[in-house]
């Protein structure tokens, strides 16, 4: 993972990466829906959760957020920053997201008609600080998750060739 100034790399062990993603998952669950952390949460309950839209450029932040939401068993709509504001609005509306996570530098992609959807600023993740976060309990897993359940919704803007 590149450090905050992208001048060097920081190595995470699997245990450190797991602990960091648990910390991030707990942070977002506490903001969006504490029921996501319920030990009794089943696949049927998880299926009631609608996707969360995510707009970010920073790869480190994106990586940790994607893993955190996978741990929570919440589908994440990855919205390309190449989309126009109208395109973002269409995707977010069509996928019936429950919340939008966005880097502050990308807020201009959110049209006013999305104001009714709770929107949260995603701070850029500093890997050096993340290594110092306290260990938290692991995320309870839905024991009956099916391999066919949606994890990520990826939309291609068609500009990649």
Per-residue pLDDT of the chain (161 residues; tens, 9 = 90+): 555 556 677 888 888 888 898 899 889 988 887 777 777 666 555 555 688 999 999 888 999 999 888 888 788 999 988 899 999 999 999 999 989 999 999 999 999 999 999 999 999 888 888 888 888 887 776 555 566 666 777 776 665 54
The H or E element containing residue 88 is helix 85-94
The H or E element containing residue 154 is strand 152-154
SS3 24: helix
- How far apart, in whole angstroms, are the C-alpha atoms of residue 17 and residue 85? 34
Of 50, 59, 57, residue with least CA distance to 108? 57
Of 70, 74, 90, 61, residue with least CA distance to 155? 90
Strands 152-154 and 99-102 come out as unpaired
Contact 3, 47 (CB under 8 A): no
- How far apart, in whole angstroms, are the C-alpha atoms of residue 44 and residue 30? 21
Sheet containing strand 99-102, strands side by side: 119-121, 99-102, 52-55, 76-78, 152-154
Q: Going by C-beta distance under 8 Å and a sequence separation of 6 or more, which residues neighbour residue 2?
A: 8, 9, 10, 60, 127
φ and ψ of 76, to 5 deg = -115, 125
């Amino acid at each position: 993972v590149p450090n905050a100034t992208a001048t060097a790399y920081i190595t995470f062990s699997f245990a450190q990466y797991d602990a960091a993603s648990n910390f991030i998952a707990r942070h977002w669950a506490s903001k969006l829906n504490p029921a996501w952390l319920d030990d009794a949460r089943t696949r049927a309950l998880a299926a009631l959760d609608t996707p969360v839209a995510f707009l970010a450029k920073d790869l480190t932040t994106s990586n940790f957020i994607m893993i955190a939401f996978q741990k929570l068993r919440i589908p994440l709509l990855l919205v390309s920053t190449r989309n126009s504001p109208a395109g973002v609005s269409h995707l977010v509306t069509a996928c019936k997201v429950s919340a939008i996570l966005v880097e502050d530098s990308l807020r201009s992609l959110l049209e006013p008609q999305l104001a009714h959807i709770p929107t949260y600023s995603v701070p850029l993740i500093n890997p050096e600080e993340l290594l110092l976060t306290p260990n938290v309990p692991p995320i309870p897993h839905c024991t009956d998750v099916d391999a066919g359940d949606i994890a990520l919704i990826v939309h291609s803007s068609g500009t990649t060739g």
